[in-house]
Structure 1
Amino acid sequence: MVSQVKIISFAIGLICLFVSGCSDMKISPEKPLELWWKSYKKNFILPDGRVQCPEHEYDTVSEGQAYAMLFAVFMKDKETFDLIFRWTEEHLSRGSKHGDHLLAWHWKGGGVNDWMAASDADGDYAFALLLASHQWEGHAYREKAIQVIYDILRLETVRGVDNRLFFLPGLWGREKDGCLMQNPSYYSPAAFRLFYEATQDNQWLYLIDTAYWLVSQAGIRLDTVTGCGLLPDWCMVDAQGNILKAEGRSNDYGWEAVRLPLRIGLDVLWNKTEDAHKALGKIYQTLQRTSVDFKELKAVYSYDAGLPWNMVVCRQTQWPVLQHRH
């Protein structure tokens, strides 16, 4: 049995490595997390609160805004949190154009160029706001979080096989023949538990149940391909509950699925659920095995064999960072 301390450290470490790997920012594993946060702000967050992506012509996505708000809460940085929150509401809110409280996913060249919402960003946005309301006792944070939470349920969920409630990727995801497009890393059980506590809406408990059902099933098989224990970035669930490949999208464990250790790890840390511990332990053991074989932690692994692609996220000598904080 993998110890709880090890897998929580693994989860937190992986997300830090993932974010650092999105640019030329390099942080020594011996340095404290505060230095990482300082470097992250310098590289990504502009003075007005916009989180830029240097790799994509300095554009901005709702996902990045929500990530930075979560980081700011965890780092107890209220000034930065408020900057990001204000910019996000002023520039990405769909309220004036579409009448809901979700976020436009893409901003570039001075304005929104795609008003479609992305449910992972909407969920992380509400999550960050609820955490901020607990940490800094801000009624405005909680009020906005509740509005977003209700619109997520109203617009970004759907019933599927066995009347199970599914989390859609956004205002889309209903495919032909009753199939549903799914991204396992969009499910955030720890956040969903907070949403339930805030609203007492049982639908969030149903989504948690779906999250662990999807994680357990999607790691076993995609169509006729047997998995190695890692989750795919994207998959489909058909009307009979079969897990299928998502055509035209990544089916490997990559830049989407890398978020799963953090999302599931928080459920282990805060709620100590058996489903979470089992799911995270399987990911940890698979990646630990490949790191021993290949001496490096890669960004992308094949779904079936766990074979890594070429991009290195972390060399084996850097693994102590995964046990830095827990």
Structure 2
Amino acid sequence: MQVRINRKACLALTLGLAASASFANLVKVAQVNPASAASGACGEWTGYRRFVERFVQADGRVIDYSTPTQQTTSEGQSYGLFFALVANDRATFDRLLAWTRTNLADNQFDAQNMRLPSWQWGRKPDGSFGVLDPNSASDSDLWIAYDLLQAGRLWKDPTYTQLGQALATQIARQEMTSLPGVGPMLLPGPQGFKVGGVTRLNPSYLPLPVLRALAHEQPNGPWAKLAESAYKLIKTTAPQGFSPDWAAWQNGQFVVDPKNGDTGSYDAIRVYLWAGLTSSADPLAKPWLAALGGMRTKVAQTGIPPEKVSSTSGTASGEGPLSYWGALAPYFKALGDERGLGLARTHLAALDANVPGREPVYYDRVLGLFGTGFIDGRYRFDEAGRLVPGWRNTCD
């Protein structure tokens, strides 16, 4: 089995329809015109519509065309589910869920029979398509559980809720460990991340609003304590205010990851995004943001986010792509940094520009949707981590 260790630009369609009776009740794989998506939001969400048209196949598979294997990841499916929920696009949500169940969970995705989805699917060396790595990705699993729980609440369908509860339970059972003196901690996946006394960790796998929502739904689970442990990880591994892509736990303390070092780049950029999305009423919101102040300072100095930065020294290099601006827009908004937010808006305007010969980039589109959707008021998270989409409000 391969071990999933780095998704730099590895994020994310072919059939997959649900077979079980319980799941079939909510799968309405139907004829849907992507142009009609987001009809329940306050005005058309053009960015989402273009994302569906470009990256979501008719059967519900999200595809990253930039990869040689034309891969789909559980993360791509999880983000697609979230955006469909924000857009009130239930038809696309159900297609995404059906494909995920059939192809990533081998049809074992029911409340009584819940399998963690494989993280990577695509073209194999022999030309066929299927699972490339059966290991699961805990952050994607968290987001899928969250999407299902929020869909059950917002669309008033207990079938989603039961699936989300079952998935969250399996995450707690298979993708968690305990760090002495810290508390429960999320492993990046069930296999391959605890080797020889070293436990490898990924700070970007721990979005605080998602943990809060799971704690609300499963008060007897590890989620509230995990939020506290996650803050300790973020604060300790960002001594210069920059998060690394990966970190490790060894000999009773957080240390630099022995495999990937202290670099913060394409994974770590999401740490700032999740911090920016957190409700200001959350007691960890301000200290979490304060622990990540290096990025704000660097952009104020140079006008650009660095592509790579050393989390231990603060040494930076390169210029981050559009995806970075998508991640940082909510971060600047949460900090009240109007200049940084203005820079982000200016750069993100390029996402909607049709440039001949330029293909849309998957990661730019995904983080761009997170960022622009938030700063434009299409969604927010409340203090309990629950999703508050714009379509739930009165639209003037």
TM-score by length of 2: 0.66
Q: Deviations over 1:235-274 (max 9, x none)?
A: 101232x2212122253221111111232333325xx223
Pair 308,113 (structure 1): closer, same or farther in 2 beyond 3 Å: same
Q: Deviations over 1:152-189 (max 9, x none)?
A: 01000011222621110111321212x31111111122
Q: Deviations over 1:27-82 (max 9, x none)?
A: xxxxx881211221122111111000011132101111001111111222212111
CA contact (8 A) 1:66 1:124 kept: yes
Matches within 5 A, 1:145-184: 145-162=164-181, 164-172=183-191, 173-177=193-197, 179-184=198-203
Alignment partner for residue 290 of structure 1, among 266, 277, 298?
Answer: 298
Q: Deviations over 1:264-310 (max 9, x none)?
A: 333325xx223222222443x42232223222234433322251324
Matches within 5 A, 1:246-257: 246-249=257-260, 251-257=262-268
Q: Percent identity?
A: 22
Counterpart Cα distance in 2 of 1:267 and 1:35: 24
Shift of 1:210: 0.5
Matches within 5 A, 1:33-52: 34-52=45-63
Counterpart Cα distance in 1 of 2:151 and 2:273: 18
CA contact (8 A) 1:160 1:239 kept: no
Structure with more helix by fraction: 1
The gaps in structure 2 that reach 5 residues or longer are 1-7, 13-42, 124-128, 326-339, 349-370, 378-396
Counterpart Cα distance in 1 of 2:50 and 2:290: 30
Alignment partner for residue 86 of structure 1, among 95, 98, 106?
Answer: 98
Secondary structure of the 2:185 match is strand
Secondary structure of the 2:93 match is helix
Match of 2:157 in 1: 138
- State yes or no: 1:103 paired with 2:103: no
Alignment partner for residue 83 of structure 2, among 67, 71, 87?
Answer: 71
Shift of 1:100: 4.2
Letter in 1 for 2:376: R
Secondary structure of the 2:121 match is strand
Q: Deviations over 1:66-108 (max 9, x none)?
A: 01111111222212111111111111115659x6421001111
Secondary structure of the 2:248 match is strand
Shift of 1:126: 0.4
Pair 180,74 (structure 1): closer, same or farther in 2 beyond 3 Å: same
Match of 1:15 in 2: none
Counterpart Cα distance in 2 of 1:296 and 1:253: 15
Counterpart Cα distance in 1 of 2:150 and 2:290: 26
Moved more, 247-256 or 77-86: 247-256
Match of 1:26 in 2: none
Match of 1:259 in 2: 270
Alignment partner for residue 280 of structure 1, among 281, 285, 289?
Answer: 289
Secondary structure of the 2:200 match is strand
Counterpart Cα distance in 1 of 2:259 and 2:250: 17
Letter in 2 for 1:60: T
Letter in 2 for 1:280: L
Counterpart Cα distance in 2 of 1:208 and 1:90: 31
CA contact (8 A) 1:94 1:102 kept: no
Counterpart Cα distance in 2 of 1:52 and 1:250: 29
Counterpart Cα distance in 1 of 2:215 and 2:174: 17
Moved more, 135-144 or 307-316: 307-316
Counterpart Cα distance in 2 of 1:162 and 1:198: 26
CA contact (8 A) 1:181 1:235 kept: yes
CA contact (8 A) 2:238 2:244 kept: yes
CA contact (8 A) 1:161 1:239 kept: no
| Greater length-normalized contact order (CA 8 Å, ≥ 6 residues apart) | 1
CA contact (8 A) 1:212 1:276 kept: no
Pair 286,162 (structure 1): closer, same or farther in 2 beyond 3 Å: closer
Secondary structure of the 1:56 match is coil
Moved more, 115-124 or 246-255: 246-255
Counterpart Cα distance in 2 of 1:46 and 1:298: 33
Match of 2:238 in 1: 219
- State yes or no: 1:319 paired with 2:344: yes
Pair 244,306 (structure 1): closer, same or farther in 2 beyond 3 Å: same
CA contact (8 A) 2:304 2:320 kept: no
Counterpart Cα distance in 2 of 1:92 and 1:171: 15
Alignment partner for residue 133 of structure 2, among 96, 114, 120?
Answer: 114
Letter in 2 for 1:289: T
Secondary structure of the 1:41 match is helix
Pair 33,263 (structure 1): closer, same or farther in 2 beyond 3 Å: farther
Counterpart Cα distance in 2 of 1:281 and 1:126: 28
TM-score by length of 1: 0.79
* CA RMSD, Structure 1 to Structure 2 (Å): 2.7
Letter in 2 for 1:243: F
CA contact (8 A) 1:298 1:312 kept: no
Counterpart Cα distance in 1 of 2:290 and 2:90: 33
Counterpart Cα distance in 1 of 2:318 and 2:184: 34
